[in-house]
Amino acid sequence: MAHQLLTLTCLPLFPLGTVLFPGGQLPLRVFEVRYLDMIGRCHRAGAPFGVVALAQGQEVRTPGAPRERLQPVGTLARITALEQPQPGLLLIQCQGEQRFRIDQPHQLRHGLWVADVSLLPPDPVVTIPDDLQAAARTLRRAHDSLRRQPRGPALPAADALDYDDCGWVANRWCELLPLPTATRQHLMSLDSPLLRLELVADMLSRGGIDGSRP
């Protein structure tokens, strides 16, 4: 029997030049008028918004810029921290949650995008096979090294670590590797976490990132 997709109507969207993966951390500086009110409302309500990568256009609207065009698959983002250091500026930290497919996007008069979306099933838990274990070992070492850096990137909390799961390891590598946005988007959109990790492992091998030692 086919999986019944859940839908959300009028989900506010935040188009970006990057891709948010489920379980990922995303810091944002919010200063455009079209987003300040939206982020405030989501924070007060404890509701998510959608992060979607731009297929065309720029994050900040400027006169003469190409019209924004959105990728078809995005990720729900839930605000975990919010600061307002000055009027007209919000600093937020977001956690990636479930993926969604955009069904009906619509841009409101003041520029905010909203959409009716279908929530995609979470990645099934798939244990990493022996031939891909090197990717998990190398990721663990990379995380350990980054945690020792005073200004390293935002990393998963200790209680969220899952180095035995294909989807989780693949997603974390997609965040660390210097990949084009289109490649990240393709990998995030894949329904098979095993295939996602296989493609990442191939990139690691071609990039000379050695994970052979235990």
Reported as a single tens digit per residue, the pLDDT across 34-72 is: 899 999 999 999 999 999 999 987 766 667 677 889 999
Lowest mean pLDDT among 9-18, 31-40, 205-214: 205-214
In sequence order, what are the residues at sequence separation of 6 or more whose Cβ sits closer than 8 angstroms to the Cβ of residue 192? none
Within a domain: 125? no
Q: Are 113 and 105 in contact (CB under 8 A)?
A: yes
pTM attached to this predicted model: 0.89
Within a domain: 214? no
Domain shared by 135 and 31, yes or no: no
Which is more confidently placed, 98 or 149? 98
For every residue of 102-138, DSSP letters joined together read: EEEEEE-TTS-EEEEEEEPPPPPP-BPPGGGHHHHHH
At residue 45, φ and ψ (nearest 5 deg) are -90, -10
At residue 16, φ and ψ (nearest 5 deg) are -135, 165
Which is more confidently placed, 99 or 155? 99
pLDDT of residue 130: 96
Q: Are 205 and 173 in contact (CB under 8 A)?
A: no
Domains of the chain: total: 2
Domain shared by 96 and 37, yes or no: yes
Domain shared by 102 and 152, yes or no: no
pLDDT of residue 109: 86
Q: How far apart (Å, rounded) are the C-alpha atoms in residues 10 and 171?
A: 27
Domain shared by 78 and 181, yes or no: no
Domain shared by 51 and 110, yes or no: yes
Domain shared by 112 and 79, yes or no: yes
In the predicted structure, residue 2 carries a pLDDT above the cut 50: no
How many residues in total does the chain contain?
214
| Token reading at 159 | 């209680």
Domain shared by 201 and 140, yes or no: yes
Domain shared by 22 and 99, yes or no: yes
Domain that holds residue 158: 130-206
pLDDT of residue 214: 45
pLDDT of residue 150: 82
Domain shared by 137 and 191, yes or no: yes
Question: Which of 71, 100, 119 finishes a domain?
Answer: 119
Element (H, E) at 139: helix 133-147
pLDDT of residue 84: 94
